[in-house]
Amino acid sequence: MHTHDNNCRAENKGAARHYKPQTREIKQKGDETMKNEIVFGFVIAVIFSFALILNPQTAHSAAANDTVTISINVSQVTMVDINPSNLTWSSRGSYTIEPGTVADNKTEEMNYSNIWVENIGSVNISNIWFDNSYSSSTPFGSGNPAEYDPANMIVVDNSTDGDGNYTFINRVEFPENDSMYIKTNNPISPSQTQDGYLFGRFRNASTEYFFEFARDVSGNCSSGTFYWSDTAKTKTTTGDTDLTAGSSLALSTLAEITSGRYAGNWSFGEVQIGGANQPYYCVAIPEDCSKIMFSNRNADAPGVTHSNCGNVSDYLSEETLMPGAMKKAWVKAYIPLGVAYGVLGGNTNRTLTVFVDTT
């Protein structure tokens, strides 16, 4: 029995020893099979990815397409935009604004030196001109800065680099009650002013030129003679004090203006105050003798477009400005002598307006 048992144990041991290697062999084959399946799947995925890269439209190809024709008909409209919308000058550092100085980009709040006019409409613009507001009566001697309209001090230039002649747009001066130390052709007084004998001065920053107007018809300034001094008064010089020996110009009657802010009868003529290098102005005086206007680049101002003011520019620009195009104007402010300190224009309109024509 023991022998038999031992033999059985030996056989069983031998069987066991023979079985275990077979088990390991099966496991090894299973691992290789799994590895082969993983490698094969990876290869398939890579091939599929390259197929998508090489042919990205495969999954989104269109079966058909069509188009829509676009048509927009823009109406004719004239529109213009002027920028910047505000110009503000004040003393900055070593650059000061005081009577008799020129305010430019050095003292402008944003360093602006230009006004840009843009055609934002749909039709061509052929002419551009300006008009400025002004005080309703003389602010000089009031001591109130709010009475001085700063727009009446604006000058513009349409040159490429801003090195041309800067001109007032429609500078307004008012008659003075006394001719002071200036010799005139006629006596000057408030009653004489109402009768058509005017005296005043053309203020141009640090210089002033005196002038006199003598009417042809009593109590009416629709025609007469305009006299002006040949040399300027400054802070340090007296200038020409004898208007009887100065330059003169016969002002003719302008046909009546029937509408707008300049409605009425005006006398007008062309003047070049200050010498041959200075710009021309169309000087105009209303029938009621209330003010004297010096205009340039304002086609609406009295007399500007008349042949008697032929050397005066009617417009800032007469070039064709197509839709979307822009035109710049150089701008400064000439601060006259005798201006009260403070912020100017609180009681005035303080506006510069741009006008355009269409071709």
Are 26 and 162 contained in the same domain?
no
- 314 close to 128: Cβ distance less than 8 angstroms: no
Q: Is residue 240 part of a domain?
A: yes
Q: Is residue 301 part of a domain?
A: yes
Residue type, 200: G
Are 319 and 257 contained in the same domain?
yes
Task: Tell the residue number behind the tokens 């309209």, with chain if given.
Answer: 149
Q: What is the span of the domain harbouring residue 151?
A: 80-358
**Separation between Cα atoms, residue 198 and residue 188, nearest integer Å:** 7
Counted domains in the chain:
2
Are 188 and 305 contained in the same domain?
yes
Q: What is the pLDDT of residue 276?
A: 87
**Separation between Cα atoms, residue 197 and residue 175, nearest integer Å:** 9
Q: What is the pLDDT of residue 135?
A: 97
pTM of the predicted model, to two decimals?
Answer: 0.81
Are 159 and 48 contained in the same domain?
no
Are 12 and 131 contained in the same domain?
no
Q: Is residue 75 part of a domain?
A: no
Q: What is the pLDDT of residue 47?
A: 46
What's 231's DSSP letter? S
Are 165 and 51 contained in the same domain?
no
Q: CA 236: distance to chain centroid?
A: 36
Q: Is residue 69 part of a domain?
A: no
Are 270 and 173 contained in the same domain?
yes
DSSP characters over 269-295 = EEE-TTSTTSPPEEEEEETT---EEEE
Q: Is residue 68 part of a domain?
A: no
Q: Is residue 67 part of a domain?
A: no
Structure tokens at 263: 């409605």
Q: What is the pLDDT of residue 310?
A: 93
pLDDT tens, the chain, 359 aa long: 444 444 444 444 444 444 444 444 434 444 554 444 544 454 444 444 444 455 555 556 789 999 999 999 999 999 999 999 999 999 999 999 999 999 999 999 999 999 999 999 999 999 999 999 999 999 999 999 999 999 999 999 999 999 989 999 999 999 999 999 999 999 998 888 878 899 999 999 999 999 999 999 888 898 999 999 999 999 999 999 999 988 899 888 887 888 888 988 899 999 999 888 899 999 999 999 999 999 999 999 999 999 889 999 999 999 999 999 999 999 999 999 999 999 999 999 999 999 999 86
**Separation between Cα atoms, residue 138 and residue 176, nearest integer Å:** 9
Strands (E), the chain: 80-83, 102-103, 114-119, 125-132, 154-157, 167-168, 170-173, 197-204, 207-217, 220-228, 247-257, 264-271, 281-286, 292-295, 326-334, 352-358
Are 284 and 328 contained in the same domain?
yes
Q: Is residue 74 part of a domain?
A: no
Q: What is the pLDDT of residue 190?
A: 87
Are 197 and 294 contained in the same domain?
yes
**Separation between Cα atoms, residue 26 and residue 17, nearest integer Å:** 15
Residue type, 119: N
Are 184 and 279 contained in the same domain?
yes
Q: CA 318: distance to chain centroid?
A: 18
Q: What is the pLDDT of residue 55?
A: 53
Are 99 and 231 contained in the same domain?
yes
Q: Is residue 41 part of a domain?
A: yes
Q: What is the pLDDT of residue 59?
A: 57
Count of residues for the chain? 359
Q: What is the pLDDT of residue 60?
A: 67
Residue type, 215: R
Are 140 and 31 contained in the same domain?
no
